[in-house]
C-alpha cells in the first residue's frame, strides 16, 4: 500500500537555525498538510496546501514557517529561525479529495536546543 514518507526521522538543531522537513506524499494525492504534536499530546493543524498554494493555515503558522512543493513529489516545511518551543513531532499528511481520510507519515521529531 502506498504511504507518506518523511525525512529525516529526527532532526536536532540549534535555536535560530533554519530547518527543512521533507515529505513525499502519496503520488496521486492532491491535498497536502502539515501537523505538529508536542510531547505526544494534541495534534495541531499547521497548514494545508492545494494546487501549489496554501489553502488554509493556523495561527501557529506564522512568518517563520513556509511550505513548498518544489517538484512533483516533494512537499517541504521550512522553519526559518527555530525557537525552543518549535520542538515537536511534525507530521505530513495527504489525501486524494477533501472528504477522504488523511494518510500520515511517521513524522519528524524536531529538537531545538
Partner 1 sequence: GNSVTQMEGPVTLSEEAFLTINCTYTATGYPSLFWYVQYPGEGLQLLLKATKADDKGSNKGFEATYRKETTSFHLEKGSVQVSDSAVYFCALNVDNDMRFGAGTRLTVKP
Residues whose CB is less than 8 angstroms from the CB of residue 22 and which lie 6 or more positions away in sequence, other chains included? 6, 7, 8, 74, 75, 76
Distance of CA 71 to the CA centre of its chain: 16
Q: Does 107 bind partner 1 (CB under 8 A)?
A: yes
Q: What angle do CA 54, 56, 59 make, to 5 degrees?
A: 115
Q: Does 56 bind partner 1 (CB under 8 A)?
A: yes
Interface segment toward partner 1; rule CB under 8 A; list 12-20, 33-41, 61-69, 77-85? 33-41
Cell numbers for 14: 540549534
Give how many residues touch partner 1 by CB under 8 A. 24
Terminal Cα-to-Cα distance of the chain (whole angstroms): 37
Q: Does 104 bind partner 1 (CB under 8 A)?
A: yes
Interface segment toward partner 1; rule CB under 8 A; list 15-23, 28-36, 61-69, 70-78? 28-36
Interface segment toward partner 1; rule CB under 8 A; list 16-24, 37-45, 64-72, 73-81? 37-45
Amino acid at each position: 500500500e502506498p504511504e507518506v514518507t518523511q525525512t529525516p526521522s529526527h532532526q536536532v538543531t540549534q535555536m535560530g537555525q533554519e530547518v527543512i522537513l521533507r515529505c513525499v506524499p502519496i503520488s496521486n494525492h492532491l491535498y497536502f498538510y502539515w501537523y505538529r504534536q508536542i510531547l505526544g499530546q494534541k495534534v495541531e493543524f499547521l497548514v494545508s496546501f492545494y494546487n501549489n498554494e496554501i489553502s488554509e493555515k493556523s495561527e501557529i503558522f506564522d512568518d517563520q514557517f513556509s511550505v513548498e512543493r518544489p517538484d512533483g513529489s516533494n512537499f517541504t516545511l521550512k522553519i526559518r529561525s527555530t525557537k525552543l518551543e518549535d520542538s515537536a513531532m511534525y507530521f505530513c499528511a495527504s489525501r486524494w479529495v477533501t472528504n477522504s481520510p488523511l494518510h500520515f507519515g511517521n513524522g519528524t521529531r524536531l529538537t531545538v536546543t
